[in-house]
Amino acid sequence: MPRTAAGVDVEDLLVRVKNGADAELAEVAREVAALAEQGRLGEDDDEDGVLVPALLARLAAAGGAEARVRVMAALRRLARCVGCESKERLASIEALSSIVRSLSRDVDETREAIALLLDLSDIPQVRQRIGRIKGSIVMLVTLRNAHEPGTHDDAEKLLHMLSSNPQNVLLMAEAGYFRPLIHYLKEGSDMNKILMATAISKMFLSEPMKSSLGEDGAVEPLVEMFKSGNLEAKHSALGALLNLSSSLQNAEILINSGITGPLLQLLFSVTSVLMTLREPASAILAAIAQSERILLHKDVAPQMLSLLNLSSPVIQLHLLRALNSISGHTNAKRARAKIRQNGGVQLLLPFLTEKNIDIKIAALNFISNLSKDASQELAEQIRDTHLNIFVKIISSPTSGNEKAAAIGILSNLPVTDKKITELLTEANLLPLLISLLEINITAPLTPLRTSLLEGIAGVLIRFTVPWDKKLQSLAVGHGVVPCLVKLLSEGSIKAKSKAATSLAQLSQNSLALRKTKLPRWLCVAPSAETYCLVHNSQCTVKSTFCLVKAGAVSPLIQILEDDNREADGAVLEALATLMQDEIWENGSKVIEKASGVHALLRIAEAGNSTSQEKAIWMLERIFRLEAHRERYGEIAQALLIDLAQKGDPILKPMIGKILAHLELLQTQSSYF
């Protein structure tokens, strides 16, 4: 039976703890805490150890937050002075579960719960048991991350103490707290390092989580495990690195750590025991090749190329994807040249008949990248059979990715190669492309759709070359012009530029076609619908490829109004066809009516040197007309004077002519 200590009635306290309402419970818990703090309620006073289980029972059942806070405060004080049996009860799963539940409640209760768990965590069994309570580690990590005064520091201390158990460390990592795991990777036993690496390899990691692991130093010890560990260590390290390597930030860390050489050595190895490591090694190479830093390792691509025909299909696919990434980087011109010098294209062409569709697409994309700056070199290696394969891919119900890659290769072949043009025309590629363009031009914008439209726009340049009016007529007859005009508004900036180039090529012949089709006499007045102000004749899209009748002028000018300057050159070439010597006056009026003067002034100010020169050439013709001088002269003069003084000297004579039109400069000035 509980006895009455000197001045302390333990039995009375016990009755009140068991039977009191929440308010009474809070009061008696306050008394118990005070007595324990004064040393008047130790092991000798509660020799039967009845207060601790009674308080724990009420903690589990209490409805009020204040009562629970007071009970936990009392338990904290008692934990310092009660006997082993009572401490064991405090350390039981049931007791700890009641305390853990309070972690998710209000601030005061949470603070008291963490403090109690922290006091109890010097008991080894407690550190093991807390981790086994569902949600406990997650709640502690959440409290640590919340940075609330009074809970953050204690939560971090408690997590630190719990990290002495590797299983708790794994739970912390799953909750997004990686510091203890990284500590084990750096300083743990070999067995624990393998345990942590294996856990990373199997974890679902968001991109921020991958970046956090990389920033906090997980990559370097994993690389060291791969380089110097035993087979099990190498396997677990590669699995972990593969999971982390899809982050571009981690890819750069991996490249800087010097892992590319050892990965390639592993792929070249014929040691049977290492064969199982080759697939993850090749997958990591594919991931880190997405970082442009891979270009610093100039021998990587040729070595991968030499491995292609020596590898299994899975490894081939990873190597092709790695090579495709390397060759696709902005600054990869030298890398592409080196791959071509090493016979890259010839090595890849047999993959065009590969049954594995993923490998086939990867090879197609790689060839497309290699042909970006070597179209003539590619044309010399492409045979009729290869061209037929590309057309067959485009015409078949294959995947969009396969079509986009095949079209991309065709768009890189030289448009001056008449033999290729004839073969593609005979294979009826043109209607296939236009049909594909019509399907995709209004579809939702995706990377695949963008790639398709850019490729198709590139191939159409071949079918609109200005030296082959018959081919132009064929393209126009298949409905290419409306598609090109729509691309000016719907496509990416690259697609817009290529569409503008095709329209410019068609428009170059509009004047000549007008002349060949002018009648000697007319019985009836010309139709207002088909009469073209610029060409001063009956114009239609099909008969004269007229930009004005195609409705292309406004969307062309809109591109100049946008912030991206990549398509300026192609757009200006198209508009300049309306300002040839015989038609410049009416062409100027059409461009001015479509708000083109402001757009041209914008290019004169912000375009590159070639675009500036073309824009100023057009402005000089526009300002020959008095109506345009009156309307825009005042707006233009400050810009033109500034350009004359500070711009490219090659622009000076043409600017001088414009200033003379505006009567700001004498025609005999030294500007000419």
Both tokens of 362, joined, read 């990867």
CA 379, 383, 384, 387 dihedral sign is negative
Q: What is the pLDDT of residues 123-179, one digit of tens each?
A: 888 888 888 898 899 999 999 988 788 788 889 999 999 999 999 999 999 999 999
Q: Is the pLDDT of residue 4 over 70?
A: no
Both tokens of 468, joined, read 């082959």
Both tokens of 647, joined, read 């711009």
Q: Percent of the chain scored above 90 by pLDDT? A: 60
In angstroms, rounded to a whole number, what is the distance separating the alpha carbons of residues 278 and 263?
8
Q: Is the pLDDT of residue 2 over 60?
A: no
Both tokens of 86, joined, read 């009572």
In angstroms, rounded to a whole number, what is the distance separating the alpha carbons of residues 411 and 258?
37
The pLDDT value given to residue 514: 78
At residue 472, the 3 state secondary structure works out as helix
Q: Is the pLDDT of residue 425 over 50?
A: yes
Q: What is the pLDDT of residues 387-410, one digit of tens each?
A: 999 999 999 987 889 999 999 999
Q: What is the pLDDT of residues 288-317, one digit of tens each?
A: 999 999 999 999 999 999 999 888 999 999
Q: Which of the two residues, 475 and 120, has the higher pLDDT score? A: 475
Both tokens of 375, joined, read 């179209």
Both tokens of 31, joined, read 């008394």
Mean pLDDT for the chain overall? 89
Position 181 confidence tier, pLDDT thresholds 50, 70, 90: very high
Helices 493-507, 469-477: axis angle to 10 degrees equals 120
Q: Is the pLDDT of residue 209 over 90?
A: yes
Helices 357-370, 333-341: axis angle to 10 degrees equals 110
11-164 and 402-513+531-589 in the same fold: yes
The pLDDT value given to residue 46: 53
Q: What is the pLDDT of residues 328-358, one digit of tens each?
A: 999 999 999 999 999 999 999 999 999 999 9
List alpha helices for 91-230, DSSP H: 93-101, 107-120, 124-132, 136-146, 152-162, 166-174, 179-187, 190-202, 207-215, 219-228
Q: Which of 392, 412, 411, 416 is nearest to 402 (CA)?
A: 392
The pLDDT value given to residue 521: 44
Position 571 confidence tier, pLDDT thresholds 50, 70, 90: very high
Q: Which of 641, 623, 617, 554 is nearest to 591 (CA)?
A: 554
Q: What is the pLDDT of residues 14-43, one digit of tens each?
A: 888 888 888 888 898 898 888 888 877 755
In angstroms, rounded to a whole number, what is the distance separating the alpha carbons of residues 368 and 262?
29
Helices 384-395, 429-440: axis angle to 10 degrees equals 40
CA dihedral 206, 207, 209, 213 (to 10 degrees): 140
Q: Are 133 and 97 in contact (CB under 8 A)?
A: yes
Q: Which of the two residues, 1 and 230, has the higher pLDDT score? A: 230
At residue 67, the 3 state secondary structure works out as helix
Position 274 confidence tier, pLDDT thresholds 50, 70, 90: confident
Q: Which of the two residues, 463 and 19, has the higher pLDDT score? A: 463
Residue ranges per structural domain of the chain: 11-164, 402-513+531-589, 595-671
Q: What is the number of alpha carbons within 13 Å of residue 406 lying toward its C-beta?
A: 26
List alpha helices for 245-383, DSSP H: 248-256, 260-268, 278-288, 300-307, 313-328, 333-341, 344-348, 357-370, 375-381
Collect all residues with Cβ–Cβ distance below 8 Å to 668 and sequence separation of at least 6: none
Question: Which backbone phi and psi does 5 adopt, to 5 degrees?
Answer: -80, 170
Q: Are 329 and 335 in contact (CB under 8 A)?
A: yes
Q: Are 154 and 114 in contact (CB under 8 A)?
A: yes
- 4 strand-pairing partners: 9
Position 7 confidence tier, pLDDT thresholds 50, 70, 90: low
Burial (CB count within 10 angstroms: exposed 0-12, middle 13-18, buried 19+), residue 147: exposed
At residue 43, the 3 state secondary structure works out as coil
Q: Which of the two residues, 452 and 98, has the higher pLDDT score? A: 452
333 alpha-carbon distance from chain centroid:
22
In angstroms, rounded to a whole number, what is the distance separating the alpha carbons of residues 212 and 91?
34
Q: Are 205 and 213 in contact (CB under 8 A)?
A: yes
The pLDDT value given to residue 668: 43
Mean pLDDT of 553-568: 95
Q: Is the pLDDT of residue 52 over 50?
A: yes
Q: What is the number of alpha carbons within 13 Å of residue 32 lying toward its C-beta?
A: 35
Burial (CB count within 10 angstroms: exposed 0-12, middle 13-18, buried 19+), residue 338: middle
Superfamily of domain 402-513+531-589: Leucine-rich Repeat Variant (1.25.10.10)
According to DSSP, residue 531 is labeled E
The pLDDT value given to residue 57: 87
In angstroms, rounded to a whole number, what is the distance separating the alpha carbons of residues 348 and 319?
12
What is the greatest pairwise CA distance in the chain?
A: 132
Q: Percent of the chain scored above 70 by pLDDT? A: 93
**CATH architecture for residues 11-164:** Alpha Horseshoe (1.25)
Mean pLDDT of 282-288: 97
State the pTM of this model.
0.81
In angstroms, rounded to a whole number, what is the distance separating the alpha carbons of residues 528 and 92?
95
